Structures are given as structure tokens and as C-alpha cells.
Structure 1
Amino acid sequence: MSAGLFDFNATLPVMGLQVLLLSWLLQQFLYSPIQRIIQERQTTIQQQLQLAADQLEKAQQLTLEYQSQLQQAREEARNRIRKVQQEAQAMMEEQLKQAQQQMTQVFNDAMQQLAQQKQQALNTLSSHVDEMAHLILSKLMR
């Protein structure tokens, strides 16, 4: 038998069996556990991604809800401010009206007092003029 590059003897089937046995052993003790670990890891990662997506969606919903509540609170604050301003304006107008009425009353009272004082002064002056006229007449007549 000549020793060529490819001799077909009993070593070839033994080598084939060794390769198959080694492949089976690697599959059972190395590849299968690694594939199981990789699969578990992918499942865990997928679950965590789904959880993160759910939490992100919930956070977005909460953000929208809070923005809506904030908008409502701002609108309520604007309405309250507007109402308080209107009430203050009405109160100020009422106080101004009352002050004007009081000033008109004070002015009318002062005018009446002046008119009374004028009348008293005229009456007093008239009586003094009468007295003076009598005095002058009496002096002229004497």
C-alpha cells in the first residue's frame, strides 16, 4: 500500500467518529449552555426594554397630565387675578364716589355756613348802619 495524500484505511472512520463525538460533546456541554444563557439574557434584555418603554409611556402620560393641570392652575390664577382686579377697581370706584359725595356735602355745608355768616354779617352791618345813620341824624339834628 502506498502512502498517499489520502489513504482510506481504518483511521478515517475513527477520525470521523472522533469528530462527531467531539461535536456532540461540545454541543451538549458548551454550546447548549451558552445558547441557553444567551437566550435567557436576550429574554431579560427584552423584558427590561419593554418595562422601560412602559415606564416611558407612563412618564409621558404623567407629563401630559401635569401640563394640563398646570395649564388649568394658570388659568385659574389668571381668573382669580382678573376677579380681584375687578373687585379692587369696583371698590376703588365706590370709594371715589363716596369721597366725591362727601366732598360735595362738605362743600354744600361750607356754602350754607358762608351764606349764613354772610346774612349775619349783613344783618349786623345793617343794624350798625342803622345805628350810625341814627347817630348821624341825631348829630345833624342837634
Structure 2
Amino acid sequence: MATAMMAAATTSVPLPALAVEMEKAALFDFNLTLPAITIEFLLLMVALDKLYFSPLGKFMDERDAKIRAELGGVKDASEEVRQLEEQAQAILKAARAEIAAALNKMKKETTTELEAKLDEGRRRVEAELVEALASLEGQKEEAIKALDAQIVSLSDEIVKKVLPSA
């Protein structure tokens, strides 16, 4: 029912009045408004390009160039770091060789010193052994002499007791 009334109301409005209403409802006129808006748009584009986008693009280009330069510097530095690492490895290798040589030298010196002390100890022990053997030999000789003397005196006594005196 409501649509029927609207349709009746629309058909009851004369056509020229409808054209006037449509003209009032238009967003803008295409007479001089379109070129004016086009000119405003172009001026705004030029102004934004000169005031905003060009400086921003220049800044971004400079920043990009700076970043690329720093990256190139980092690549150069990485090569330098690699060379320094190689030098450090060479120095460490040389230091390890020096330490190994020093350890071997100390080991040889210590071994030589220990062998000398062992030889000295052996000589002392041998000297003491020779001295002790000589002392024992001397005591043996004295014991044999003492025994010989006792044997002679005992054999004389045995002979005296066994053989009657004649």
C-alpha cells in the first residue's frame, strides 16, 4: 500500500519539477566546476610533489645510499675480521708450538736432572755398599783370626787332654 502511494505521488509530480529537484540533488555542476576542481587537483598534486614527496624521496635516496655504503663497509670489515681471525689462529698455533717446545725442553732438563740425581744416589749406595762389604770383610778376617787363635788354643788343650803327657 505504501509503495502504491509513493508511485502515485511520483507520477503526480510534473516532469519539469522533477528535473529541478534532480538539479538540486546533484553533487556539483559540470559547467565551470569540473575544470576548477581539475585545476585545484593538479595544483595540489604539484604542491604536494614539491613540498612533500620530493624531499621525502630525496631523504629516502640519501638514506638508501648511506645504508648501502655502510653495508659495503661492513663487508670490507668482515674481510678484515676474517684476516684478523687468521692472524689470531696463526699466533695461537705459534704459541702452542712454543709452549710444546718449552715443555719438551723442561721435560728433558728434568729427566736429565733426575738421572743425574739417580746416578749420584747409585754411586753413594754403591760406595756405602763397598764400604760395608769392606767392613764386613775386615770383621770376617778378624773373626777368622780370632777363631784361628781359639782353634789353636782349643786344639792344644784337646791334645793335652787326649794325649797324656809323656
**The TM-score by the shorter chain falls in which range?**
0.7 to 0.9
Rg bigger for which structure?
A: 2
Q: Report the counterpart of residue 76 of structure 1 in structure 2.
A: 98
Q: CA deviation at 1:28?
A: 2.0
Q: Distance in 1 between matches of 2:147 and 2:44?
A: 147
Instruction: Work out whether 1:49 is the aligned partner of 2:74.
Output: no
Q: Distance in 1 between matches of 2:104 and 2:130?
A: 38
Match of 2:60 among 38, 50, 75: 38
Query: What is the number of equivalent residue pairs in this alignment?
Result: 134
Q: Distance in 2 between matches of 1:57 and 1:43?
A: 21
Greater mean alpha carbon deviation, residues 94-103 or residues 111-120 = 94-103
Instruction: Work out whether 1:141 is the aligned partner of 2:134.
Output: no
Instruction: Work out whether 1:115 is the aligned partner of 2:137.
Output: yes
- Could you report, residue by residue, the CA deviation over 1:78-114 in whole angstroms, capped at 9, with x for unpaired residues? 1111111111211222122222212221221122112
TM-score between both structures, scaled by the size of structure 2: 0.65
Query: Where does the alignment leave 5 or more consecutive residues of structure 1 unmatched?
Result: 1-12
1:98-113 counterparts in 2 under 5 A? 98-113=120-135
**Amino acid in the other structure paired with 1:130:** V
Q: Distance in 2 between matches of 1:141 and 1:39?
A: 150
Q: CA deviation at 1:17?
A: 7.2
Q: Report the counterpart of residue 8 of structure 1 in structure 2.
A: none
Instruction: Work out whether 1:85 is the aligned partner of 2:100.
Output: no
Q: Report the counterpart of residue 96 of structure 1 in structure 2.
A: 118
Q: Distance in 2 between matches of 1:141 and 1:111?
A: 46
Q: Distance in 2 between matches of 1:20 and 1:107?
A: 123
Greater mean alpha carbon deviation, residues 15-24 or residues 41-50 = 15-24
Q: Distance in 2 between matches of 1:38 and 1:119?
A: 117
CA RMSD of aligned residues (A): 2.8
Query: Where does the alignment leave 5 or more consecutive residues of structure 2 unmatched?
Result: 1-34
**Amino acid in the other structure paired with 1:47:** A
